[in-house]
């Protein structure tokens, strides 16, 4: 067992863990942040997406010990963020979710897309989402939600 201290959603979290513990397990089991979902546990589905120092990362492929001295943000850590509130609003209005399993990863991916692409079109959004799987929606609502949020954010700037 080793002791690690991570900054998660702005709070320091110190826990004794096995060196092989993934960030996803650390977040879910040690921090009780269950918004980080485990789907494939191979990095292919995107359900476990979090940000590390502001960049999206698959928490199922990242060891918790690798995140010492880094800022980890989960979907729970985006509460009250105006940009994420807007994205959530559009996900709701465009029916960009059904079962909700992929939603936390999709929301963080949407924010990343909109930070890198001003008012992206459908082709760009679909390309950027290619590493995220959703078995319920067919992506139509998700793509439309991101497109609408991008257009609104673009209008505000």
Q: Please report, for residues 56, 86, 91, the alpha-carbon distance to residue 114 in angstroms, rounded to integers and kept in the order given.
A: 13, 11, 14
- pLDDT score of 46: 94
Q: Which of 134, 154, 149, 50 is nearest to 91 (CA)?
A: 149
Q: Say whether 80-156 and 2-76 share the same fold.
A: no
The set of residues, in sequence order, having a beta carbon less than 8 Å from that of 123 and lying 6+ positions away, is none
Structural domain boundaries in the chain: 2-76, 80-156
Beta strand spans in 9-47 (E): 11-17
- Asked if residue 3 lies in contact with residue 67, where contact means CB atoms within 8 angstroms, the answer is no
The backbone torsions φ and ψ at residue 119, rounded to the nearest 5 degrees and listed phi first, read 50, 60
Query: The tokens of 6 are what?
Result: 């991570």
Domain 80-156, what fold? DNA polymerase; domain 1 (1.10.150)
Give pLDDT < 50 ranges for the chain. none
Q: What confidence tens digit (pLDDT) does each residue in 17-44 have?
A: 999 999 999 999 999 999 999 988 888 8
Position of tokens 């702005």? 10
Query: The tokens of 127 are what?
Result: 């390309």
Where does 2-76 sit in CATH, by number?
A: 3.10.20.30
- pLDDT score of 155: 83
- pLDDT score of 156: 77
Cα(76)–Cα(131) distance, rounded to whole angstroms? Answer: 21
The pTM of this model reads 0.94
- pLDDT score of 135: 87
Report the 10 Å Cβ neighbour count for 42.
9
- pLDDT score of 8: 98
Greatest CA span in the chain, whole angstroms? 51
- pLDDT score of 26: 98
């Amino acid at each position: 067992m080793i002791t690690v201290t991570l900054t998660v959603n702005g709070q320091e979290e110190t826990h004794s863990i096995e060196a092989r513990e993934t960030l996803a397990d650390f977040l879910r089991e040690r921090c009780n942040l269950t918004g980080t979902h485990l789907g494939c546990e191979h990095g292919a589905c995107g359900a476990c997406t979090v940000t590390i120092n502001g960049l999206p990362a698959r928490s199922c492929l990242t060891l918790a010990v690798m995140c010492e001295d880094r800022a980890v943000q989960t979907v729970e850590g985006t509460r009250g963020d105006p940009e994420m509130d807007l994205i959530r609003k559009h996900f709701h209005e465009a029916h960009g979710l059904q079962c909700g399993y992929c939603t936390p990863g999709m929301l963080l991916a949407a924010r990343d897309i909109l930070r890198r692409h001003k008012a992206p079109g459908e082709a760009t959004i679909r390309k950027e989402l290619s590493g995220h799987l959703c078995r319920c929606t067919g992506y139509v609502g998700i793509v439309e939600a991101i497109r609408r949020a991008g257009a609104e954010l673009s209008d505000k700037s």
